Chain A
Amino acid sequence: MRFAVTRACGGGGGRARAGALYIGGSTTAPIETPSLLISTRKGLPNFVSRDHLAALPTPDSLLLHVSPLHFLDCPSSKTISNIGGLHQMLGLHEHFFVAAPRDSLESLPESDGTNKLGASFETPCGRRLIKPSAYVEKIASLKPNLWASIADEVPAWVSGKRNKTSIDRTLRWLDECLALDPAGGKTMLGVVVGGSNIEERKHCAIEVATRNVSGFWIGGFGLGENVEERPALLNAVTDNLPEEKARFISGLSLPEEVLQGVASGIDLFDSTYIYHLTLGGFALIFPFEILDHNNLDFQLDDTVGDRTKINLRATIYRKDISPIVANCSCFTCQNHTRAYINHLLNVHEMLAHILLEIHNTHHYLGFFRAMREAIKGGKFDLFRRTFVESRRIHLTSAVLCS
């Protein structure tokens, strides 16, 4: 993997940056950052099958997050190896898999169960303790394009002592993973933890930066920390990481959170936002080409949802024969109406979730593209302010109206 910052100082106090991630060898186009990692269940999106995944914009949609914990029970590492790894097993030869244990959905760090031997996770198969050796073995069979070392992620409210232990373990496991990795860290991302303590975050980042890894995975966010203190924590990490290596993060999901992360110099986001929206029957509608068109006209005819997303379960969509978003080029908007999706949700049909996940993924990828354009144009701060403001205005007016 190779990463290059293509435009720095795009905003965010000089931290926001646009970059290019070269994963697939020299012949393939780079993934431009900031970018989204599409969340998966056992390597495939929750509802979108490979044919519809292929129809999403590329290379934007090529990055998938995968949790090796999803394969603890089956298939066996040997079988996965025989099949040829993730790309073969999932029929996604052109895609790039980034492996990290936590999936923010159903495999969550369980810090009480974590001990000096390994990290504990709450998984659909119960609580499981993963040792670095077993983890690296699983990684060897899965052959992801990139993988994060194993970490002791703790929630924001743990004691200072527990937080220090988490850093020590995370660094030790990083060294163990590096020692066990036959590729010598070429595809490895070092995990930075440190909880809600700025000094510890800084210390951990400095330590991880000394290791021979090809990028960084920032852990421990989205685990109960105060949103107000996030920028300082994020900056403490990114200010101490080398410029020329990519920074991944999990736990920042909402558009505002992502914007905050980008402002702090994060490049890649593992987000569960789309999954939660989709399950709830929500469709994203917010405009993101807000600078091009100078168009802040959020769909004002809309009285359901917060004007950034609509809940298609609402009865007002019963006879609405318009697509979710009028000029959206996704499969869903090209083929189906709000009324049809409303019906599918009412009768609990899986197609509702398939269609929503296609649209929401497409739409969120568009949001990331707009962020990149803004950074490249040196207008990220304006973009962020405009976006957040217009969302806030509409959220406030929605509250006032109701």
Chain B
Amino acid sequence: FLKMALKFEVLGKFNRARAARLALPHFVCQTPLFMPVGTQGTIKGLTNNQLEEIGCQIILGNTYHLALRPGAELVDDLGGLHKFMNWKRALLTDSGGFQMVSLLHLADITEQGVTFQSPVDAKPMLLTPEESIQIQNKIGADIIMALDDVVKTTITGPRIEEAMYRTVRWIDRCIAAHKRPDEQNLFGIVQGGLDPVLRDICVRGLVDRNLPGYAIGGLSGGEDKDSFWRVVAQCTAALPEDKPRYVMGVGYPLDIVVCSALGADMYDCVYPTRTARFGTALIPEGLLKLKNRAMANDERPIDPTCLCMVCRNYTRAYLHCVVTKDPMGSQLVSYHNLSYMMRLSKDLHTSIVKGQFPEFVQGFLRVQFPKGDIPEWVCNAMEVAGIDISTCCAP
């Protein structure tokens, strides 16, 4: 029996969707929630007090990057990542496996672990499930992720099956290696590609281990949207009610709304900050490309309905001049984009608690698709989620 360092309490539900209170060692979060990605121990361009100000509850750190620089030993010596970056709220670290497979061409996965070429001295290195957990224990995040066997979702065939079974085998090695279960919560990751049978085996395998929480992995890798939501729907339906569910790598506002309707609770993505650096702002209508010529003389804020520091003070015209050119440009747009994601999380939570979730989803879709051209996959997902969006669709 694995100890847990979290309390998950569902406060409200609408069909599959749920709003919950997730008490982690460093912060009591409200779900659904979005986690900005702070790869190297910082969210690009924002200070800690700004992150608190916009309502950020939990930050994701990348184990692979942090292990390279400044190094897990150093983080541990200086009292863990919370202390190192002086972040008082919650943290989550990934296992490092995904980063290796996606960033390093020479990564190779065997039963032992992930073999890769060191980016420092090009020597062959091995990341085992034990090591991943050991490193994450040193970093000290509230939630740590099991090392999984990552395969591209677009791959088919026996490799998917192999990866899924290996992920289940590795979870036991992760659990055994976990030295701080009463301070850190180990989440298992459901794999199995787009195959419902494999996903089902994996979910059951992980649920048997009674972990503090579960992630749905192997998505957001270029698969079609219809497959994407079906996997999410299948996994959320099979995962326990009383545990948080985290869909990895999801960050488009529409995807978050759909996944929340299907019963997911947590998301992470570099998208809001990355797209900000390229001059794109997130708005209820979709995207606002601030580099666009039309912005040069637009005297409105990014989003007139947004109350963030940037929208209260700056025009599109001014931002047009600074985005992609000056550091201040990416700072300001990142600030707005993360504010938008925090507001979205909060609106999801509040509307579910207040029993107004369908109205929220309808309102969201109406603004995003004023012509009623809601994508087929969204309509299909909403049907499964039991949310009537017929009034938002073009006849």
Contacts and interface: CB of A to CB of B under 8 A. Distances in A.
A44 B328 contact: yes
Nearest to B298: A79
Interface string B371-382: 000000000000
Interface in A76-111: 76, 78-79, 82-83, 89-91
A51 B50 contact: yes
A90 B40 CA distance: 30
A83 B317 contact: yes
- Chain A interface residue number, banded: 35 or more
B315 interface: yes
Contacts, number: 119
A343 B297 contact: no
B41 A343 contact: yes
B47 A354 contact: yes
B296 A74 contact: yes
A91 B312 contact: yes
A58 interface: no
A47 B78 contact: no
A349 B326 CA distance: 14
Contact of B313 (A42, A50, A79): A50
Interface stretch (A26-34, A208-216, A331-339): A331-339
Nearest to B328: A44
Interface residues of B, number: 41
Contacts of A74: 296, 317, 320-321
Interface stretch (B69-77, B118-126, B162-170, B175-183): B69-77
Contacts of A42: 318, 321-322, 326, 328
A83 B70 contact: no
Interface string B16-37: 0000000000000000000000
B332 interface: yes
Interface string B37-77: 00011101111111001000000000001000110001001
Given A41-B328, A83-B299, A354 B312 contact: no
Q: Which of A91, A319, A321 has the most CB of B within 10 A?
A: A91
B350 interface: no
Given A42-B326, A319-B74, A79 B69 contact: no
A39 to B, nearest CB: 13
Given A318-B74, A319-B78, A79 B47 contact: no
Contacts of A351: 42, 44-47
A339 B328 contact: no
A321 B296 contact: no
Interface string A47-63: 10111100000000000
A318 B70 contact: yes
Given A44-B328, A47-B331, A347 B85 contact: no
Nearest to A339: B78
B313 A91 contact: yes
Contacts of B84: 337, 339-340, 343
Contacts of A353: 327
A22 B85 CA distance: 41
A87 B238 CA distance: 56
A79 B299 contact: yes
Nearest to B325: A124
Contacts of A89: 314-315, 317-318
A120 B19 CA distance: 61
A47 B318 contact: no
Contacts of A46: 326-328
B94 to A, nearest CB: 17
B69 A346 contact: yes
Contacts of B40: 343-344, 347, 349
Contact of B70 (A50, A90, A335, A346): A346
Contact of B85 (A73, A78, A319, A340): A340
A301 B12 CA distance: 58
B305 interface: no
A346 B299 CA distance: 39
Given A46-B327, A353-B327, A335 B86 contact: yes
Contact of A335 (B46, B48, B320): B48
B85 to A, nearest CB: 6
Nearest to B309: A51
29 contacts: A42-B321, A42-B322, A42-B326, A44-B322, A47-B328, A49-B328, A50-B309, A52-B47, A71-B321, A73-B321, A74-B317, A74-B320, A75-B318, A78-B297, A83-B317, A89-B315, A89-B317, A90-B318, A91-B312, A91-B314, A318-B74, A335-B86, A340-B84, A343-B69, A347-B40, A347-B65, A349-B40, A351-B44, A351-B46
Interface of A: 41-42, 44-47, 49-52, 71, 73-76, 78-79, 82-83, 89-91, 124, 318-319, 321, 331, 335-337, 339-340, 343-344, 346-347, 349-351, 353-355
